[in-house]
Amino acid sequence: MLDPQDEQIPSLRGDLALFQRDWDQAEAEYRKVPNAGGHIDCIGLALISDISGKTKAALKYWREAAANARTSGNRPWEKQIHAYLANFNYREGNFREALAEVDQAERSCQTPPWWYLVDAESQLQRALVYTAMGDRPQGEKYFSLASEALSKEDKETRAWQRLVSLYRGQMEWAMGNSGQGIELLRRFLSMIPFQNWGFWDLSARRSDCLYMIASAHARMGDLQSAIGELEEIPTLTAGRMWNPQTLARSYLLAGQLYQKAGQRDKALEKYRLFVDLWKDCDPPLRPLVEEARREIAKLEKQG
């Protein structure tokens, strides 16, 4: 039974509020976490900031979390945080910074902790970033290195072989190969739990996969399939945590697709959820919010 005086109780309460989409309560709980390790509260605040479209604040908290983990000698956590920062920078289009974070993750800790990706994911992250940069030969080189490392049939790597489907699916999606991307990402999703409480395990990638599958369906003109994928994202808990902004972006894309499909009320619902979540977002993201507000005004006039 948990001790009510345990210093990690606020962190657990913060996680629960985060999963329940009670952002203010989650932030309040994370701010109560004693700064013993120095990284737990920063991670929670980074997630809250990113969900709300406050990318600059999220990056600040992630960097503080990495520095505090290093200072306290918690090298496995430092390694994980740098891997997360690599994904963060990839998402933002900061490809050189993403590669630098992958390098830092490798330097942080030689032996990954049990909850963390095997070292082969560093090669897969490089493969994805180089592919997005348009350097497909480098992308294929690192993908091959990782695939070879993960081909060993032993207990350590077996579970992580699923990463091959995940990253190849992301690479195909990034290159605009929608059909192949959908097939590979669906294969990955079929091999992971639907829900899990861990931020760092494979199930945390679910929302990212669903969003990519949805956008691929939308590119091919299959609006209903795309909407079906997007509707699953708000039902997730830790499955949204690898890329916290996916929740808001799923609302926006769903609003656009419902509007295109002539479903006014559903479009309004999704646009309003998006605007409410990102109402205080960073300036570079505000054009998306203003555009959603314009679409809301148009749809309201139609009523």
Question: Domain locations in the chain?
Answer: 10-104, 117-191, 196-303
Contacts for 268 with CB less than 8 Å, ≥ 6 apart: 255, 296, 299, 300
Task: Please compute the mean of the pLDDT values over residues 206-210 and round it to a whole number.
Answer: 92
Q: What is the 3-state secondary structure (H, E, C) of 84-107?
A: HHHHHHHHCCCHHHHHHHHHHHHH
The Cα 150–Cα 156 span in angstroms is: 9
- Per-residue pLDDT of 104-135, as tens digits, reads 988 876 655 444 455 678 899 999 999 999 99
**Angle at the Cα of 223 from the Cα atoms of 221 and 227, rounded to 5 degrees:** 145
Domain 10-104 top-level CATH class: mainly alpha
The Cα 27–Cα 164 span in angstroms is: 35
The Cα 186–Cα 166 span in angstroms is: 9
Domain 196-303 top-level CATH class: mainly alpha
Listed range (5-19, 62-76, 112-126, 253-267) with the worst mean pLDDT: 5-19
Tell me, what's the pLDDT at 270? 98
| Residue pair 98/62 in contact by the 8 Å Cβ criterion | no
Listed range (45-49, 275-279, 285-289) with the worst mean pLDDT: 45-49
**Angle at the Cα of 147 from the Cα atoms of 175 and 210, rounded to 5 degrees:** 45
Same fold, 10-104 and 196-303: yes
Tell me, what's the pLDDT at 34? 59
Entry pTM: 0.87
Question: Does 184 or 147 have the greater pLDDT score?
Answer: 184
Tell me, what's the pLDDT at 36? 43
Question: Does 25 or 97 have the greater pLDDT score?
Answer: 97
**How would DSSP label each residue in 186-229?**
HHHHTTS-S--S-SSSGGGGHHHHHHHHHHHHHHTT-HHHHHHH
Core vs surface per residue 192-206: b (16+ CB within 10 A) or e: beeebeebbbbbbbb
Task: Please compute the mean of the pLDDT values over residues 37-41 and round it to a whole number.
Answer: 62
**HSE, side-chain direction, 13 A CA sphere, residue 147:** 12
First to last CA, the chain: 54
pLDDT at 2 > cutoff 60: no
